[in-house]
Chains A and B, each alone.
Chain A
Amino acid sequence: MSAPLLYFDRFGKPEDELVIIERAKRNPEHFAPLYRKYHEAIFRYVFKRVDEEESAYDITSCVFIKAITNLPKYEYRGIPFSSWLFRIAKSELYQSFRDKKARRTVSIDSMQIGKVMEEFQIDESEHKREVLLKVLPLLKESHLQLIEMRFFEKRSFREIGDILDLTENNAKVKTFRALIKLKELYSKNNNIKK
């Protein structure tokens, strides 16, 4: 059985990228291969968090404009370039929410709700599912984004840490706390004993 792909591998070798980044620092036109490589991943990240497709395309464009503008400040310190882009995407998203250009949205697959319920060790029923979906928006944004990245986007703790500027261990601990918080809200709303 082959080993699962690390998220570093998903986007290629960082050394190859560094050469392109150095070129793009001198001339933005050299950024094109990185734009082609990451456009879809950044778009999907943004799309899942906003309610309108057009807003997602606009925010994605803003992410790349900001990335090229700030590229001279970028230095490789072990964090993949993709995470640096996701950080910009995160800040652009929150700016759009503040400017009321987009609405905070959580896109979930039915299957993923099942995974969260599995984590809670509760059997899947229509009522319980509804309760979980009702309490999810009640979570603090910092908790919600951890649950979203870990369970709905299946990101590794390392990737979550890189995007949120946390260590891998800290990302793990914070996700666990977010899960406890969600469980508390769920129990309160479902009137069941913990």
Chain B
Amino acid sequence: MIKLLIDRQLPSSETIASRRNFNQILVGLPKKKTINSPWFYGAIGVFSVLFVILLNFFV
């Protein structure tokens, strides 16, 4: 059931500003999963190819 509030006291701008905390927002951000990044697979691929080339060169 919907609740109706008449002439409700809104917090002041100062009160709202005092509750602002950008660091808390940054902490709450989900951590980026490196393993899902295309950069991760790209780097692994490049190193694998380089490794095979170097292996053929020296052996």
Q: Which A residues have a C-beta under 8 Å from some C-beta of B?
A: 28-29, 31-32, 35-36, 39-40, 43-44, 47-48, 51, 53, 57, 61, 64-65, 68-69, 103-110, 113, 133, 136-137, 144
- On whether the beta carbons of B29 and A105 are closer than 8 Å, the reply is no
- Min CB distance, A185 to chain B, in Å? 13
Chain B residues within an 8 Å CB radius of A44 = 10, 16
Q: Interface size bucket, B side?
A: 20 to 34
Enumerate 22 A-B pairs (CB-CB under 8 Å) in ascending A order: A28-B26, A31-B25, A35-B25, A39-B17, A43-B19, A44-B16, A47-B10, A51-B3, A51-B5, A61-B24, A65-B25, A69-B29, A103-B3, A104-B2, A105-B2, A105-B5, A106-B2, A106-B5, A107-B8, A107-B10, A137-B2, A137-B4
Q: Which B residues have a C-beta under 8 Å from some C-beta of A?
A: 1-8, 10-11, 13, 16-17, 19-20, 22, 24-26, 28-30
Chain A residues within an 8 Å CB radius of B17 = 39-40
Q: Number of A-B pairs whose CB atoms are under 8 Å?
A: 71
Chain B residues within an 8 Å CB radius of A29 = 26
Interface of B: prevailing SS:
mixed
Chain B residues within an 8 Å CB radius of A48 = 8
- Min CB distance, A50 to chain B, in Å? 9
Q: How far is the CA of A3 from the CA of B26 in the complex (A)?
A: 39
Interface of A: prevailing SS:
helix
- Min CB distance, A172 to chain B, in Å? 24
Chain B residues within an 8 Å CB radius of A57 = 19
- Min CB distance, A111 to chain B, in Å? 9
CB contact under 8 A between A108 and B28, given known A35-B20, A39-B16, A40-B16 = no
The residue from B3, B7, B11, B13 contacting A47, defined by CB atoms under 8 A apart? B11
Chain A residues within an 8 Å CB radius of B6 = 108-110, 113, 133
- On whether the beta carbons of A137 and B29 are closer than 8 Å, the reply is no
Chain B residues within an 8 Å CB radius of A106 = 2-5
What residue in chain A is nearest B5 (Cβ atoms)?
Answer: A107
Chain B residues within an 8 Å CB radius of A113 = 6
What residue in chain B is nearest A64 (Cβ atoms)?
Answer: B25
Chain B residues within an 8 Å CB radius of A51 = 3, 5
Known: A31-B22, A64-B25. 4 other contacts (CB 8 A): A43-B16, A44-B10, A51-B5, A133-B4
